Amino acid sequence: MPITAQQLLQILPNAGHVAGVFVPALNTAMNRYQIVGTQRVAAFIAQIGHESGQLKYMREIWGPTAAQARYEGRADLGNTHPGDGSTFRGRGLIQITGRSNYKTCGEALGLDLIRQPELLEKPQHACMSAAWFWATRGLNTLADEGKFETITRRINGGLNGLADRQALYARALKVLA
C-alpha cells in the first residue's frame, strides 16, 4: 500500500509542500526495493526523515566540520582524488557519502554520479538512492525484526540523532497502522 502525502505530512510535519513532490518518488523507490508493509515503511520514513531534516536537505551541509574534513583522502570511502571529500559529501535522503559509494550507487541506478554527483539532490534520485542503500544493507530484514538501533548504526555509523529517529518511527507506526 503506497504512502499518501497526508500520511507523509503526519509523520514529517516539517516537510511542508515538498511532501507532495516526494510521495510519487518515494512510492516508486520503496516498491522497487520491497520496502513494503508497516514495519519497513515506518522504519524507512523515520530514518530518511531524520537524515534529510524532514526532506529539507538533499546535500550534507558543508563546513567543513572536523568530521567532514576527515572525508578527504579516506580510502574506505574511495576518496582518492584531491577534493573528493567535498565533491562526494552526503547526498540524497540517506546521505550517500564517498566516491566509491557514489560509483556503486550510480551503477545500480544507471546514473553517472562520478561526473554528476548533484543528481542525488533531485527527488527521484534522492529517493531511489536511499531505497537502494536500504536494500543493499539488509535493512528490510532488520526492520522486520524491529532492530531499529541496528538500522541506525548501519545508516549513520553510530546512534547520532537516535531520539529523533525513534520519535519519527513511533509516529510513523501510528500513522501507518
By annotation, the residues acting in catalysis are 51
Q: Find, among 145, 157, 158, 176, the residue nearest to 46 by Cα.
A: 176
User: Would you state the cell numbers that stand for residue 77, as one nine-digit string?
Assistant: 570511502
Alpha carbons 92 and 147: distance in angstroms, whole number: 23
Alpha carbons 132 and 86: distance in angstroms, whole number: 22
Which residue is associated with the grid cell 536494500? 135
Element (H, E) at 43: helix 38-51
Maximum C-alpha span of the chain = 48
How many CA atoms lie less than 13 Å away from 75 in the CB half-sphere?
0
* Residue 3: DSSP 8-state: P
In contact, 23 and 56? CB cutoff 8 Å: no
